[in-house]
Structure 1
Amino acid sequence: MTSYRSSRMLATALTTLVAAPMLAVALPAVSAHAESQTVASIARNEVGGTCSDYNCQYPGAWCAEFTRWVWNKAGANTSGISAAAVSIYQYGKNKGTLHSTPQVGDAVLYDRDGSLNDGDADHVNIVVAVSGDDIQTVGGNESGGVRFRSWFNWKTNSSPVGAGRALAFVGPAGLAETPTAPVSKAGDLFHATRLVDGSWEGFAPLNGFGGAAFFNASQESIAATPDGSTQTLATGNDGKLYHTARYADRSWTGWAPLAGYDGAADFAAKDQAITGMGNGDAHVMAIGNDSKIYENTRFKNGTWAGWTPVGAWQAKKIATAGLPDGSTQTLIVGNDGNLYHATRSVEGTWTGWNAV
């Protein structure tokens, strides 16, 4: 987890503010700006980015620089925003967009002290969805990069990155847009978490690829890995395979297309499956558009082994499961409609397909 001590030190060094009254009683309840789906779309599209992508000057504390970059790309007036998170608070006061309830496109300011009276802020990120008191955010300098955070109650929960409570919301000034809420359609992917006590968190849409609000897919599969993350594989409506990971801290890597076989740019598949392995890797099986069977591995460090064909067999459907000894068991429905099974050893060798 990235430390935010540098954010606090930077804010204090770069910004001098007149002490403000407690936000809980001082801020208006209604925003001075309309919801910005444009800001949300841009922010979602940057999930997975790093400091260098935004020409940030302070690699240890660049959350405000990321927010400024997103707002600027959306066409907002960002004058007055520095690399200090608390400069966004002053910006909101000056522009008349400081308020106490969230809207899409807002910057949300966090502080461990429970007040911005000391003239600093520990963190800032961008609100990309609102449902009652629950929000979704995208922020820079979170776990080393730009991360998406799924639903959390901003009134009762601390920041998803441990940077204190949400104390204020600031809208971007100068945007000329007519807000249009994205509409889900059949095939869009949603995610929910079943907690240890048996209760469920509500379903939320998974971010789309390339800035889309939703990810529309013809098929998806999911697997858990020992570090507490989940690995999701999906076949987009373009027929290509995409992957995203949800870490234990609830952040997402964002969708990325899988590179193709033998130098191809993409991998298109008729069917696919993924399983978590005891060593932290995730093993992927897929049926290519040539109906042949391929395997791939996502290592626990986030890199990929690349596709390898598994013999010359062809199949219609595929499923796979990892075992504690490091082997995998795979089932296919062959082109003859029959069910076949094969085992992949820890060393990577296959037994060959046998009819079930």
Structure 2
Amino acid sequence: MPIVMPLLKKSAAATAVAASAVIGLTALPAHADTGSQIVQIAQANLGKGPCDTNSAGGASYGSSCTGNGGSPEFWCADFVKWVWGQDGVNVSGLTPAAGSFGQYNGGLSSTPHVGDAVVFNYKGGGVADHVAIVSQVNADGTIVTIGGDEGGVSGNWAATAHVHGDGPYSGAIGYSSYMGMNISGYVSPIGGNSGGTVTTPAPDPVTTAHVFMVGSGNTLFNQDGNYAKGTWSALQSVPGGAAGVTKVAAASTGKITRLYAIGSDNSIYTNDGNYATGTWGTWQKIPGTTGARELTAVAIGNTVHLFYINSSNTISNVDGDYTRGTWSSVKQVPGGAAGVQKIAVTAQGNAVHLYLTGSGNTLYNINADYNAGTWSSLMALPGGASGVQNLTVATVGSIDHLYYTGAGNTLFNQDGDYAKGTWTGVMTVPGGASGVGFLSAAAIGSTVHLYFTGSDNTLYNIDADYNAGKWSSVYHIPGGAAGLGAITTSTN
């Protein structure tokens, strides 16, 4: 099978970037700027591949489909040139090489504008690694971009890549940890029909929870709850033929769910579900992940931080950089946590909050600050929770809402407010749920959707509306899922 995250492909023509569509929900309004039509054209092609029918009704983007001896070429520059051309921009001198944009219109500048091209890893002489379109410029100095030839599959990159949105991320010249490359500069289009001012449309709101569950035969199933429509999909098998699955975790980067599963060999495997295109990839083993017992995952930007309990009952970590297309080596989480039984993770900004049960099934916490590159010390959570069996966490604003099962398999909750530095006491989740098994939680807006398996091994849900300060009643999710084991949830 191909490596799960393809290595970054480089050529003088262009470099494909392993990136997924992530347009942040907290982006600030765009500056007044030109380029509205360019952005609209680019957005109309999100999710399209090199040989797809483009938004103008034609085939491909210039030579994107045939430029490599009749097959797709690395086509990020083809896409930007095509979009500009559709707006009437003078594209003379631009070629399928990303670096040709570095020689256009007097060369690169340090100031981005909506509709500009942003060039990455420019080496001079018309050679660069990637180019994309600036679709939004924010007051805090961040940008949002749309690029072609991103998110391909190793060994067949150009043909499997698509048009993706990225950001917000810092628009400063220099190394971008989000994109995994240097931002070399920006270049504005010459001419074109765009004019006036533009406020980039807000990204699609998060409305759907994707619940994944281990079912009979240790295979994986999925149901989707659309909270905008108030509907649930039918129960379906996750494509790819995964079998022997014991535990599962998920994280979302834009419209892509990154699904992780522990197999019968106690290694961790991954598969990607692209909800923009309605497609799944193939299951692939993550290098170095052996002896896994439990796992949890969270995304920050285009990087997924995956944590798992290893055979020594300590916590290991491996990071998947979906921009650069690489996995880090397996690392031991510092702090001295031992005898670990369960783990759950969430993130606030660039900080990861990892929760765990230790010997005696009590609750602990350790946090990673990815801005500073440091870990906190291990801390016992206040409140005296004991006998914890399973746990999950979801974040609304600055508050981590931690849920767990205790004595009698009932549901309990504690909230940690990281803005105030305080924790609540232990509270019983209302609704009378008992016989609770596995847990998973996901926040959509200010509501946390808590999913759990009951004593009959079917799927239930209860929701906490933190704006209104109330809980729903327990709801039996339709669809006939039965014989369930571990569950996990992603949203987009």
Give me the TM-score of the superposition, normalised by structure 2: 0.37
